[in-house]
Chain A
Amino acid sequence: MSAILPPPERLWYKHPIDRVEGTWITIAVIWCLILFFMMVGWHIWGSQNLSTETYRTRPDQFMAKVQEMVDKYTVRKETEDEIPVVAPPAGADVYLLGRLWNFYPILELEKGKTYRLHLTAMDYNHGFSLQPANINIQLVPGFEHVVTVTPNQSGTYGLVCNEFCGIGHHRMVSRMYVK
């Protein structure tokens, strides 16, 4: 019962290591190194890396930019609330905000084109969960996160808030179109 008794050797760090343990340590260290190089390698060879471009922002400041885009590129309105559907040109800066309890506006992007997507939350933390692609990004108030995206499949995507934001959280769901 020596795990609950003081070790027999005076110097426990000289206790011998069995070959089972030694081999496993070697394998585990190699595996941990592979885990590390995968992350770094994906930045070099992979094409799904979350941007870290971030700016401080204020709700009014961000809203002004959203509104400018909405005024320019709205193609139609949807739902009783008349949420604008915005189709900005390829390569443009596009803006999307989350607030209690909706996303604004609805974006219509083109497949294979690249956009600079600016994201923020206006009040509490919100979540950007694009389904069924399953891309999940945190929206934090006060921070404008610029993510470069290239949609690779056309269709109607669901945009779900997946950060708890109060009683209307489950109603906070929107769309994104890719043509």
Chain B
Amino acid sequence: MSVSTTYRTCPRSGLQFEAQAEKLIKAHAFVAVVWLAIGGILAIGVVLTRWPSIRWLEADTFYMVLTAHGLDMLIFWIIFFEIAVLHFCSSTLLRCRIATPKIAWLGFLLMVIGSVMNNVAVFRGASSVMMTSYVPMMAEPSFYLGIILFAVGALIGCFVFFGTLVVAKREKTYEGSIPLVTFGAMTAAIIAVFTLLSGAIIIIPAWLMSLGLMNVDPLIYRTVWWALGHSSQQINVATHVSVWYLVAAIALGAKPMSERVSRMAFLLYILFLQLASAHHLLADPGVGTAWKVVNTSYFMYAAVLASMLHGLTVPGAMEVAQRQKGYTKGLFEWLRKAPWGNPTFAGVFISIIGFGFLGGITGVMMGTEQLNLIIHNTIYVPGHFHATVVVGTTLTFMALTYYLIPVLFKREMIAPKLALWQIYLFGFSMYFFCLVMMGAGTLGVSRRHWDMAFEGAALAYEWPGAAYLMMGLVGIGGIIAIFGGIAFVYITVGSLLWGKKLDDGKVSSSWTPVPRAAPTATAQSYGSMGFAAPGTFALAMVFLIAFVLYYFINWKYLSTLWGMS
């Protein structure tokens, strides 16, 4: 099939962008950053209200702002960016035209309409139901309809991605298997299809319920909703892990240590992540013990295993690449001599460490059937997911954006020094923010709560002073992180507006085939007989010790509780 389009080879990266795909990636990435900016402005309201000595917004405004913050960040910013990543990983990495560009634009349009419709509903004030929108609490019908339209648009984006894989295969733009990064993106897209369909199964009935046409059981809603709510986080994990491999490759020239291990780990995500959503129901009535244990242990731990593997193989691949460059002294010369001045690399490394230590360990802890009793619905939960979603996904996407500004948007980055600062400031303030939030949660402080002093309540409970201190620190950490976010939006949007235009590079009417990776001899040289990444292994041991200690400390804490059976 001959389709008239052009292919631009970027002179700075050697990447080849097909004209339609390039426009689509740009549009999705740009709208994503707009949502990030809106979500970031809303974060100011959330943080300054939960800071006990400030308590800025009134209760009704606070719950409205919190609902919008959750949706705009967790759904709109991330999924818009993810569709951009999908198009990049298919069309750009495989150097082929994008399948059905017109339909892809339709998907984009639906996503824009849906997200705007949903936000309009929230800001009209009658849809402050939080992102989870548990029935029978009801939002306006357009709240649900917005989500449905957005989900249909995202689903179209996923199918365009699959279609593009088919185009590349059929037109033979590459030989052999798809690259690891594309493989990871494919797992993300498969999980996305499952996730969005689960969402349809429950959000459509909720929409009908808001129109007064049917009734939805609250527990069924919670069960199915989490197949959407949790699985959507797994799209993020699969996507940002793919981006980690991508950045390891472009910043250091790193090769995967073993294609087999990395790809099997991605497959584990597809097979096991979805059922892990059961861990959101551990404190619920009506779900059986065996169901909880099977879903959260067998299934979730197979997925945890996958993340533990990626957590080793990404830095391991970086270490091997660095050692080949001659940084072989001791355990950690490779790490000391890593390109810490490159915001893309630094962001990804901060993300890997934070995602593992802060997000991963705590996620397993609170996903344990009995331990969930001391965590459920406390502010520990947002502490955990800010470590996974903000430190893990958002920071990774920020790092990738800095790479894409010259490569995709053809602009010189304004304020590159600030960009480097931004990554460290945002990353480490989020570390701190998550830690103190989890500290407050360990003391029992509730999430989604306007006033921990219980204004107007006759039987108010007095939290310990440490809880107030922790929530004050959450405020400080949050504000610093918001400054980091502002810097990111300034650099990104500023570069697009005022950055020096860079040349397009060679434009051609046909694609050049993707070369095969270097021959297998290099792989064999650090193959099955070596111990190629001792530094990473040492880091992994530190991680394991932290994991084991923290896990058993929480069991100890649990054992002091009231007897329950």
Contact = CB atoms under 8 A, between A and B. Distances in A.
B286 to A, nearest CB: 4
Interface string B298-326: 10011011001100110011000000000
B563 A48 contact: yes
A78 B547 CA distance: 46
Given A13-B263, A20-B534, A52-B288, A124 B134 contact: yes
Given A6-B176, A12-B259, A169 B450 contact: yes
B297 A47 contact: no
B380 to A, nearest CB: 10
Nearest to A109: B562
A138 B283 contact: yes
A16 B547 CA distance: 28
Interface stretch (A60-68, A69-77, A87-95, A146-154): A146-154
B336 interface: no
Given A1-B250, A140-B218, A171-B454, A134 B177 contact: no
Contacts of B222: 125, 140
A18 to B, nearest CB: 5
B562 A135 contact: yes
B1 interface: no
B73 to A, nearest CB: 17
Interface in A103-125: 106, 114, 119, 123-125
A29 B219 CA distance: 33
Nearest to B132: A164
B546 interface: no
A9 B519 CA distance: 8
B399 to A, nearest CB: 16
A7 B249 CA distance: 13
Contacts of A12: 177, 259-260, 263
Contacts of B515: 5
A1 B134 CA distance: 46
Interface in B180-236: 180-182, 217-219, 222
B458 interface: yes
B309 A28 contact: yes
A81 to B, nearest CB: 7
Contact of A125 (B134, B259, B532): B134
By secondary structure, the A interface counts as mixed
Given A2-B249, A50-B370, A136-B375, A21 B304 contact: no
B454 A173 contact: yes
A150 B561 CA distance: 9
A170 B305 CA distance: 39
Interface residues of A, number: 94
Contacts of B446: 127, 129, 160-162
B74 to A, nearest CB: 16
A171 B514 contact: no
Interface stretch (B403-411, B415-423, B520-528): B520-528
Contacts of B442: 134
A5 B179 contact: yes
Contacts of A161: 446
A127 B283 CA distance: 10
A129 B377 contact: yes
A28 B308 contact: yes
Contact of A31 (B289, B378, B547, B561): B547
Contacts of A51: 564-565
Given A17-B258, A131-B444, A167 B59 contact: yes
Contact of B249 (A4, A10, A35, A149): A4
Interface in A1-48: 1-10, 12-25, 27-29, 31-32, 35-36, 38-40, 42-43, 46-48
Contacts of B256: 2-3
B564 A148 contact: yes
A9 B256 CA distance: 13
Interface string B432-457: 00000000001110111111001111
Nearest to B460: A173
Contacts of B370: 39, 42, 46, 48-50
B187 to A, nearest CB: 14
A173 B461 contact: yes
Contacts of B250: 1, 4
Contacts of B529: 19
A174 B459 contact: yes
Contacts of B450: 169-170
Interface of A: 1-10, 12-25, 27-29, 31-32, 35-36, 38-40, 42-43, 46-52, 54, 78-81, 106, 114, 119, 123-125, 127, 129, 131-138, 140-145, 147-153, 158-167, 169-175
Given A12-B260, A171-B457, 13 more contacts: A5-B179, A7-B259, A19-B531, A47-B559, A47-B565, A79-B459, A129-B444, A131-B461, A132-B444, A138-B283, A144-B285, A164-B448, A171-B455
Closest 10 CB pairs of A and B: A158-B461, A2-B517, A145-B285, A150-B563, A162-B446, A16-B527, A136-B376, A32-B301, A3-B249, A12-B259
